[in-house]
Amino acid sequence: MPMNKQLLGGISRDEFLRDYWQKQPLLVRNAIPEFTGLIDPAALFELAGNEDVEARLVRQKTKGWDLQHGPFDESDFKAKRGGAVWTLLVQELNHYLPSGEALLQQFDFIPHARLDDLMVSYAVPGGGVGPHFDSYDVFLLQGHGHRRWQISAQDDLTLIDGAPLRILQNFEAEQEWVLGPGDMLYLPPRYAHDGVALDECMTYSIGFRAPTTQEIATQFLVYMQDKIELEGRYQDPDLALQVHPAEIGAAMVDQMAAMIAQVQWGRADVADFLGRYLTEPKPHVYFQPPQRALGFEKFAAQANKKGVRLAPQSRMLFHADQYYLNGEPVTLAGCRDALQALADTRQINTSMADDVLMEWLYDAYVDGYLIIGG
């Protein structure tokens, strides 16, 4: 899908980042001209029946909301067409549709390290997931059909107790628009919004990662425990008799504190952690090696002819001269330009690749991280 200047309503990427990103909403009419979606409902329902696909079915009931997790059977959708108001949410559409991956590439003015995935929401008339807020930035791109969006910058983000979804208890709309095919709405984090389908419609959500401080700290400590090697052992040759044998003495606390204080890290450790952490595939994501992998010579010939690209599930980032692919560092000398192009554009022409790079590409291909064809 080619890039277009209308995506941000005629403003530049720099202007968007300066004036809107994490600051205020932006409505863009006809952001992607003639866009009506990437997948039809029947194909989406079939995809939601795959056990490897993360799918949710939301039903609005008289007394509240109901949430079910996939995989789903075709009957799950047919049975609910008789009048129940429902919405189907399917995550990571970019893993299953090349057009979904191409759509995400249009948003490369936001660092890949922040990108999460492409979600699609199918809703029958009246369907939605209730008024809510997200803790991350999101672009809401309308496919076929129409959806009415109401938004609010309200400070009251109290949620309904016991609801299976994060639904706001007191939503008060401040602005309202109806989005048709190709229209797009950007919302900063924690901006309350409620989208209701006016007819059968599909909305594509480009979401971004925003890990909590707790999550980052927890995962960093996991990373550090596999890296540190500390010498020494607890000892107390001057141990004195305690009045209470069950008491943890002050001397023990002091010595333990000194031992733990030996755990230190620097900026290089943080950068290495982030490269691994931000490219680590989600737990439910797996890679499918080619059923009949080509030998090296045939792979090289096909790669030189057609180019190679990252598998849709692959994540590749870099910091300085260190590259990371799917949670692991890439150690290749003299291949900076090729690796940078592969990380930035997710594809490269290999006609000028040397033997070292081609061998690494072949290994990635065998592991299912790479696909032949640019």
SS (H, E, C) 35-94: CCCCCCHHHHHHHCCCCCCCEEEEEEECCEEEEEECCCCHHHHHCCCCCCEEEEEECCHH
Q: Residue 265: which residues within 8 A CB-CB, separation 6 or more? A: 224
Give the domain ranges of the chain.
13-208, 296-372
Note the residue count of the chain. Answer: 374
pLDDT at 74: 83
| pLDDT digits (tens), the chain, 374 positions | 445 679 999 999 999 999 999 999 999 999 999 999 999 999 999 999 999 999 999 998 877 889 999 999 988 887 554 467 899 999 999 999 999 999 999 999 999 999 999 999 999 999 999 999 999 999 999 999 999 999 999 999 999 998 899 999 999 999 999 999 999 999 999 999 999 999 999 999 999 999 999 999 999 999 999 899 999 999 999 999 999 999 999 999 999 999 999 999 999 999 999 999 999 999 889 898 999 999 999 999 999 999 999 999 999 999 999 999 999 999 888 889 999 999 999 999 988 788 999 999 999 999 999 999 86
At residue 32, the pLDDT reads 96
Question: Of 3.40.50.620, 3.30.360.10, 3.40.50.2300, 3.40.366.30, which CATH number belongs to 296-372?
Answer: 3.40.366.30
* pLDDT of 1: 44
Domains 13-208 and 296-372 in one fold: no
User: Residue 334: its pLDDT value, please?
Assistant: 83
Class of the CATH-defined domain 13-208? mainly beta
Distance, CA of 163 to CA of 146 (rounded, Å): 27
What is residue 374's predicted lDDT score, i.e. its pLDDT?
A: 66
Which residue pairs from 62-65 have beta carbons closer than 8 angstroms and sit at least 24 positions apart in sequence? Answer: 64/163, 65/130, 65/163, 65/164, 65/165, 65/167
Q: Which pLDDT score, from 0 to 100, does residue 76 have?
A: 84
**pLDDT value at residue 2:** 46
